[in-house]
Structure 1
């Protein structure tokens, strides 16, 4: 009987947990929806101010607001706006020296009365820095002291005790995202611009690495002339280790290709390696890619054509390199 009661209590507890989780998510979502309806000219003024900024955007906040501020600064920096986070307590002990008259400070405080934030407002004004405040209290000291105030007011925290910053931090974070992305849009910031800020990520590799960054060149490129024998082609394939050889004309333009797969088919057809010419077994019109193309385009071409390697040409169609899927895997483009 006790075991059944425990199981029943456990089921009730799990249901209650799920209900609370859903309530938290729905409440925070409703607060973001309410924020969207409240956006006004102050928001567009903030976007315009950041776009006109000749210096950096410095984000500051204490406690949970500081954590949100750090993320906002990171988002701004990665989307084309030079930005960094400054701890307000450290600012009062020397870090204000990082700020110049051309900078904008985004100060976050849900109450708008955080002592550490308010302590740096007068020196910021003396420096000539502009202040954008994000608070949950329109009548707060910080809201009134700022050049622009963005309201992140919430009707209710999602915390069942009404104490832990939850809805308020979510709204502040969403407001920071909206600010950063509107600035991004006004700057005509592109995916390529984003990739340049993220060269170590998969997006950066996909948008920044070109075929000529990865291709084999010079003596590494397997190639024989149209008059070569099949055995000469096989020796070239073996020496270069790419599993293929290009067949080129007198102008060094690729007119054919011979691969490991072609070799297997030649054996199945009992082709005489000693007497056959490479032109008798090669594939004409080989797949090529321009050296200036993105490496990800090489991947897409290989996948579409179900091949493992490509010959690389220049503007004149001359063979300048070769690469295979292994090269792309090593570069983590795939």
Structure 2
């Protein structure tokens, strides 16, 4: 059974939501000001940029959850990274860490026992250590090669206990490092797409016309001397709402679409003497198989067409695209 939620409770909830956002926004602004006075971020970026191995991120509790996100963001933006749980690291997973790596340890208190237990081993390996803590005087901060201050004036939690503003600031610091590294590495859209082949950007930047076009017998085509009636059978059977008109070398010289047929019906009574050459559109729009599918989309949108022919380097017909093919491939 659901508990009732009266108007007073609703207003209180809205008030706390606004206060939470205000507190966390203030914490981000304070972090912004600290970065302006401290070269710690620049030194951390330099360490991570020069790392020839992977960036290993570790933290316990809420810091661990944030650490996983930071590692994922680094990895997806061109900096190889992974998360290692400190408790698991103490029982064998520390073997994943090498001297070629860089280690980011996250602890708001700077005293997390699970982290402090493994960090002397990390230091003995010669692995550079970057610490994110809310206490510059903590043991973790003192042990680190680079310390990043993620302290906050107060948590958004009304009890000032649950990690809220502090985790927001930590995540923001991780994002700042990732973006700075992204820029330093010259990471571009194509690189991002290769890291996200299943995402919308990946599909847009990695999908080529050849990946989605229809080919072989699925491509409707007729020669120019074919009677219109026979050409209409080709249009119907291939289900693309059009047919290409090709010469003896399979080079497109025209196209005829469903739309052309509707317009033709309005002005012609007798189709029996017409060939497809009489009614086709000459010089149809075409695209190459190696072009990006988004290029085909742009042409279709510009000229308000639903189909395109695909030709090879010798201008021979090798495929055809329908707008529905691009939709199914989630290019649009």
Give TM-score, length-normalised by structure 1.
0.93
Inter-partner Cα distance in structure 2 for 1:143 and 1:301:
57
1:250: Cα distance to partner? 4.1
Higher mean C-alpha deviation, range 250-259 or range 54-63:
250-259
Q: What stretches of structure 1 move > 6 A for 4+ residues in a row?
A: none
Q: How many residues align?
A: 327
Inter-partner Cα distance in structure 2 for 1:75 and 1:57:
11
Q: Report matched runs for 1:182-201 at 5 Å.
A: 182-201=180-199
The answer to whether residue 37 in structure 2 is matched with residue 37 in structure 1 is no
Higher mean C-alpha deviation, range 294-303 or range 22-31:
294-303
**1:306 matched to which residue of 2?**
304
Higher mean C-alpha deviation, range 205-214 or range 63-72:
205-214
Inter-partner Cα distance in structure 2 for 1:309 and 1:83:
44
Inter-partner Cα distance in structure 1 for 2:314 and 2:130:
55
1:34: Cα distance to partner? 0.7
Higher mean C-alpha deviation, range 177-186 or range 290-299:
290-299
Q: 2:283 aligns with which of 281, 285, 290?
A: 285
Higher mean C-alpha deviation, range 90-99 or range 317-326:
317-326
Q: 2:128 aligns with which of 130, 135, 154?
A: 130
**2:157 matched to which residue of 1?**
159
Q: 2:138 aligns with which of 121, 137, 140?
A: 140
SS at match of 2:41: helix
Inter-partner Cα distance in structure 2 for 1:89 and 1:246:
65
SS at match of 1:323: strand
Q: Report matched runs for 1:68-79 at 5 Å.
A: 68-79=66-77
Deviations along 1:278-331, one digit per CA (max 9) or x if unpaired, are 111111221222222211222232233222111112334332210101211221
SS at match of 2:45: helix
SS at match of 1:258: strand
SS at match of 2:287: strand
Inter-partner Cα distance in structure 1 for 2:185 and 2:207:
24
Cα RMSD (Å):
1.8
Deviations along 1:159-188, one digit per CA (max 9) or x if unpaired, are 111111111110000000000011001111
Give TM-score, length-normalised by structure 2.
0.93
**1:18 matched to which residue of 2?**
14
Unmatched 5+ residue regions in structure 2?
none
Q: 2:51 aligns with which of 50, 53, 56?
A: 53
Higher mean C-alpha deviation, range 322-331 or range 212-221:
212-221
1:20: Cα distance to partner? 1.8
Inter-partner Cα distance in structure 2 for 1:275 and 1:231:
9
Inter-partner Cα distance in structure 1 for 2:327 and 2:283:
26
Unmatched 5+ residue regions in structure 1?
1-6
1:271: Cα distance to partner? 4.7
**2:217 matched to which residue of 1?**
219
**1:202 matched to which residue of 2?**
200
The answer to whether residue 100 in structure 2 is matched with residue 91 in structure 1 is no
Deviations along 1:33-62, one digit per CA (max 9) or x if unpaired, are 110111121111111111111101111000
The answer to whether residue 227 in structure 2 is matched with residue 246 in structure 1 is no
Inter-partner Cα distance in structure 2 for 1:217 and 1:136:
61
1:251: Cα distance to partner? 4.1
Inter-partner Cα distance in structure 1 for 2:233 and 2:15:
70
